[in-house]
Amino acid sequence: MILANENFGKLQASYLFSEIAKRVNAYQTANPDASVIRLGIGDVTLPLAPACVAAMHQAVDEMADEKTFRGYGPEQGYAFLREVIAESDYRARGCNISPSEIFVSDGSKCDCANIQELFSEELRVAIPDPVYPVYVDTNVMAGRTGEAVNGRYAGLHYLESTAANGFVPPPPAEAVDLIYLCFPNNPTGATATGKQLRAWVDYAKANKALILFDAAYEAFIRDPEIPHSIYEIEGARDCAIEFRSFSKRAGFTGIRCAFTVVPEGLKAYRRDGTEVCLHQMWNRRHTTKFNGVSYPVQRAAAAVYTPEGLSQTNAQIDYYLENAKIIREGMQALGYTCVGGDNSPYIWVNVREDSWAFFDRLLHEAQIVTTPGAGFGSCGEGYIRISAFNNREKVIEAMGRIKAALTR
């Protein structure tokens, strides 16, 4: 008899974005002429930068010629990409990361879901609330939680990110083993200072814990005081894995390329206290279950680091950040307290009422789609997330409509 993984039965009924899609579709069916503006799901809207497109075209031409054709590439990624990542994203910032510690993949979503395969089922897992839903749901699927009660799974340690702690939770008083951190944060847009990250690194080292640091939005950091990488904190090589993605940094959501940094000295422990090397484990896992990102996509990713690629992709991020500023200032002018939107594409707005009710109000009265904070966890109740990924005209129009609806 084929037994099912019953942990799937614990997953809470509706995945956030399918519930949003259901409500938007119902509204659109009832109001076919309404022009809905989507500031909900965090997908990019600008096309690929010309430098990336040119590199990809050239790579496709190479694939069309017998002399330059390439079949399977190295599972961990081509050296040309791993080298430029190690140099530009890490060594240039004083982080001692070598190309062999970079694992190129087809997305941070898969990486932060798959990494937990390396760890025991009994780990005590700490997850921020509110949170990118993938961290929670993949741990539920893996059997690391009990049932959900009032929106929280038994067995998980929730790191509450609230206005009181500036949306950067401090390390807990008790010991946890696996810690998910995401800065700049999705959904709150908050960033962590070097001092705040230092506290987490010290905690992880003291507790033989591991930090999974999701830096998918790193490219939006503009404040020179904010660390771009957990490895800017001394000692983080001994207690942290970092996830980065080209999705938001260079508009790769549709062509897929990301990477994970697993330092060579990083350890986990067997039950008898002896050490195992996480870098070797991840290398084994990656090469066994993954066959590499396509050559043209890796060439496009490497083109991000050329002078033209950097200037074109940075201009795209500046464009989204300008959208974010318009949204944040618009909501603040209406009397709402906001975080994010300065070093992040997300603005987290304190709406002071039920977040799904506010979502419905903006959908029905302004035809604007946002994301209700409650969908990201209990601490998201009373908030909505507005995304800056859209074109300027639509953002300006959306803010006009929101103003009209909320001051009516």
Residues at the contact surface with ligand PLP, assessed by CB under 6 A: 42, 107-109, 132, 182, 186, 214, 216, 245, 247, 253, 258
Compare residues 262 and 402 and give the one whose CB is closer to ligand PLP.
Answer: 262
Kindly report the backbone phi and psi dihedral angles of residue 152, in degrees, each rounded to the nearest multiple of 5, phi listed first. -125, 140
392 contacts 45 by C-beta, under 8 angstroms: no
Question: Minimum Å distance from CB 331 to ligand PLP?
Answer: 21
Question: Minimum Å distance from CB 46 to ligand PLP?
Answer: 15
Question: Minimum Å distance from CB 62 to ligand PLP?
Answer: 25
Coil, helix or strand at residue 259: strand
Compare residues 135 and 295 and give the one whose CB is closer to ligand PLP.
Answer: 135
Question: Minimum Å distance from CB 289 to ligand PLP?
Answer: 16
Compare residues 214 and 242 and give the one whose CB is closer to ligand PLP.
Answer: 214
Give the whole-angstrom CA distance, residue 180 versus residue 289: 23
Give the whole-angstrom CA distance, residue 47 versus residue 53: 9
Give the whole-angstrom CA distance, residue 383 versus residue 291: 41
Task: Determine which helix (DSSP H) or strand (DSSP E) holds 153, and give its type and residue range.
Answer: strand 152-153
Task: Determine which helix (DSSP H) or strand (DSSP E) holds 395, and give its type and residue range.
Answer: helix 392-406
CB within 8 Å of 178: residues ≥ 6 apart: 116, 119, 123, 124, 125, 126, 209, 210, 212
CB within 8 Å of 297: residues ≥ 6 apart: 56, 252, 255, 256, 257
Burial of residue 268, with CB atoms counted within 10 A of its CB: 0-12 exposed, 13-18 middle, 19 or more buried = middle
The single-letter code of the amino acid at 321 is L
Compare residues 110 and 148 and give the one whose CB is closer to ligand PLP.
Answer: 110
Hey, which residues does 180 pair with through a beta bridge? 212
Question: Minimum Å distance from CB 389 to ligand PLP?
Answer: 10
Give the whole-angstrom CA distance, residue 46 versus residue 43: 10
Start-end of H helices in 334-373? 355-366
Compare residues 107 and 263 and give the one whose CB is closer to ligand PLP.
Answer: 107
Kindly report the backbone phi and psi dihedral angles of residue 319, in degrees, each rounded to the nearest multiple of 5, phi listed first. -65, -45
Give the whole-angstrom CA distance, residue 102 versus residue 91: 13
Compare residues 257 and 278 and give the one whose CB is closer to ligand PLP.
Answer: 257
Question: Minimum Å distance from CB 247 to ligand PLP?
Answer: 3
Question: Minimum Å distance from CB 385 to ligand PLP?
Answer: 11
Sign of the CA dihedral with 397 first, then 402, 405, and 406 last: negative
Coil, helix or strand at residue 45: coil
Placement of tokens 């395969």 in the chain = 117
Question: Minimum Å distance from CB 297 to ligand PLP?
Answer: 12
Question: Minimum Å distance from CB 316 to ligand PLP?
Answer: 16
Compare residues 182 and 293 and give the one whose CB is closer to ligand PLP.
Answer: 182
Compare residues 128 and 171 and give the one whose CB is closer to ligand PLP.
Answer: 128
Compare residues 213 and 366 and give the one whose CB is closer to ligand PLP.
Answer: 213
Give the whole-angstrom CA distance, residue 106 versus residue 258: 6
Single out the residue of 358, 381, 351, 313 nearest to residue 150, CA to CA.
381
Coil, helix or strand at residue 63: helix
Question: Minimum Å distance from CB 2 to ligand PLP?
Answer: 30
Question: Minimum Å distance from CB 147 to ligand PLP?
Answer: 26
Compare residues 112 and 366 and give the one whose CB is closer to ligand PLP.
Answer: 112
- Residue in the shown chain whose Cβ atom is closest to ligand PLP: 107
Compare residues 217 and 402 and give the one whose CB is closer to ligand PLP.
Answer: 217
